[in-house]
């Protein structure tokens, strides 16, 4: 259910971004794969053929598949083999993350926003989400990793397409030691969460992912997949506590007590959650190669 | 163990994990000491990040372990400023300190 406030924010985001020229569209490769996976008759070979057209993407997918992130004992040498072992959705997730890194690398100009640190934070959040999901017995760990990886994509949109406004945001963060979302609200009247969700809506990505991106700072607003949003909310705070990467501010937001309670954790779980996230990050650093 | 950008690596540091290139091929095994030849190889093979031992040359030359522990605890306190009212965050702050301190040898 949309409140008047959220409609106003979405209208502000629309006004903000519709003036921006050259916003990226969903890469056609990803669009094609999405369409193919929706068709139950699609075979692994057919999807593999689409991916294999792009040698760079093929190499990246195989690199991830063969990394300690999955930890298979034997080397996987073809995309079709990877699809058979990991399934369509996992391969789609790898392609999604890889292509999004590519989309935002093109045309990026140097700014004060440290993208290497940003992507480290994002990979860390994905890793923390996976750890939380595993402890909760959540079935779709891959989707959690991707949601964590992409939860802050709105910051990259702002850095690349609204650089002057975003520079103002970063200045305000520094001058008043604010959380970046607080500074964005003051400067833009909307946050990276709103802008990221808007982009993913335009790209027709899943409603669960869109809502998670929009609500990761306020999971109580999530109606479609509240658990998903709660996990990413807590994962974001956990990776900040680990000090792996940086999303643009140096303070840590407070965990929503309702989300914490809903996930069923105890504060005595923090030591394990942090240690396991640290280990999971080591496996996920292969994704840092995509950011180059 | 610490993750650094390959461009920031210096001769004398020790690799904590195997280094692989973009295709997953092994470039050099864990335990090797970085020298100028390896730095050149990392550039040629587009290696982006490396795990190095924290007791490598750079770290040995850095502040003493006690001073680093104190600094790490202060950094965590600074990061958590403003969250004091939340018991959940108080527990996380202490766990974050324990984690940070466990990484300092």
pLDDT in tens, A136-182: 999 888 889 999 999 999 999 999 889 999 999 999 999 999 999 99
- CA of B83, closest CA in chain A: separation in Å? 6
End-to-end CA distance of chain A: 40
Asked whether residue B37 falls in the same domain as residue B76, the answer is no
pLDDT at A2: 54
Asked whether residue B98 falls in the same domain as residue B56, the answer is no
Test B46 with A282 for CB contact under 8 angstroms. no
Asked whether residue B26 falls in the same domain as residue B77, the answer is no
Query: Average pLDDT, stretch A269-285?
Result: 94
B26 three-state secondary structure: strand
Q: How far apart are CA A52 and CA A91, in angstroms?
A: 12
Asked whether residue B94 falls in the same domain as residue B43, the answer is no
pLDDT at A194: 94
pTM as predicted: 0.79
Asked whether residue B25 falls in the same domain as residue B53, the answer is yes
Torsion of CA B37, B43, B48, B52, to 10 degrees: 10
Domain containing residue B51:
2-61
B50 three-state secondary structure: strand
Test B96 with A241 for CB contact under 8 angstroms. yes
Q: How far apart are CA A163 and CA A24, in angstroms?
A: 15
Asked whether residue B7 falls in the same domain as residue B57, the answer is yes
In a domain, A57, yes or no: no
Q: What is the CATH number of the domain that holds A212?
A: 1.10.3210.10
- CA of B61, closest CA in chain A: separation in Å? 22
**For the segment A211-231, what is each residue's pLDDT rounded down to a tens digit?**
999 999 999 999 988 999 999
Asked whether residue B45 falls in the same domain as residue B23, the answer is yes
pLDDT at B83: 95
Domain count across chain A: 1
Q: Which residues of A touch B86 (CB under 8 A)?
A: 254-255, 257
Beta-bridge partner residues of B26: B20
Asked whether residue B39 falls in the same domain as residue B7, the answer is yes
Give the residue from A222, A239, A33 showing the smallest Cα distance to A117: A239
Least CB–CB distance from A252: residue in B22, B51, B79: B79
Interface pTM (ipTM) of the complex? 0.85
Give the residue from A16, A60, A286, A284 showing the smallest Cα distance to A157: A16
Domain containing residue A163:
4-20+97-291
Give the residue from A109, A213, A96 showing the smallest Cα distance to A159: A109
Q: What is the CATH number of the domain that holds B6?
A: 3.90.105.10
- Interface probe, candidates A241, A262, A281, chain B, greatest B C-beta count within 10 A: A241
Test A271 with B96 for CB contact under 8 angstroms. no
Domain count across chain B: 2
In a domain, A13, yes or no: yes
């Amino acid at each position: 259910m949309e409140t008047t406030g959220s409609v106003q924010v979405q209208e502000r985001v629309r006004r903000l971004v519709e003036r921006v020229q050259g916003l990226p569209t969903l890469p056609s490769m990803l669009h094609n794969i999405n369409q193919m996976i929706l068709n139950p008759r699609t075979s692994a070979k057919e999807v593999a053929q689409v991916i294999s057209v792009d040698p760079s993407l093929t190499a990246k997918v195989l690199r991830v598949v063969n990394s300690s992130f999955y930890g298979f004992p034997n080397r996987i040498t073809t995309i079709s083999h990877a699809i058979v072992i990991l399934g369509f959705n996992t391969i789609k997730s790898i392609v999604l993350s890889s292509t999004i890194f590519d989309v935002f690398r093109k045309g990026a100009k140097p700014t004060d926003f440290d993208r290497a640190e940003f992507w480290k934070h994002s990979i860390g959040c994905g890793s923390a989400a996976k750890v939380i999901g595993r402890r909760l017995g959540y079935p779709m760990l891959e989707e959690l990793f991707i949601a964590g990886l992409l939860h802050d994509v709105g910051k990259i949109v702002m850095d690349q397409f609204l650089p002057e406004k975003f520079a103002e945001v970063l200045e305000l963060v520094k001058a008043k030691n604010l959380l970046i979302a607080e500074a964005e609200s003051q400067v833009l009247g909307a946050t990276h969460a709103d802008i990221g969700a808007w982009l993913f809506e335009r790209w027709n990505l899943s409603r669960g992912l869109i809502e998670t991106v929009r609500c990761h700072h306020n999971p109580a607003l999530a109606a479609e997949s509240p658990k998903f949003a709660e996990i990413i909310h807590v994962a974001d705070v956990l990776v900040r506590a680990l000090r792996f990467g940086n999303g643009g501010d140096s303070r840590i937001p407070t965990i929503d007590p309702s989300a914490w309670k809903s996930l069923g954790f105890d504060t005595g779980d923090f030591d394990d959650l942090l240690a396991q996230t640290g280990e999971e990050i080591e496996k996920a650093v292969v994704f840092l190669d995509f950011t180059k | 163990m610490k993750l650094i950008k390959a461009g920031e690596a210096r001769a004398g540091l020790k690799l904590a994990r195997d280094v692989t290139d973009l295709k997953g091929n092994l470039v050099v095994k864990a335990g090797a000491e970085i020298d100028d030849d390896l730095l050149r190889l990392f550039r040629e093979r587009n290696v982006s990040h490396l795990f190095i031992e924290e007791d490598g040359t750079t770290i040995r030359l850095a502040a003493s372990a006690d001073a680093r522990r104190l600094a790490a605890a202060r950094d965590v306190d600074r990061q958590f400023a403003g969250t004091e009212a939340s018991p959940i965050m108080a527990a996380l702050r202490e766990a974050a300190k324990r984690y940070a301190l466990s990484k300092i040898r």
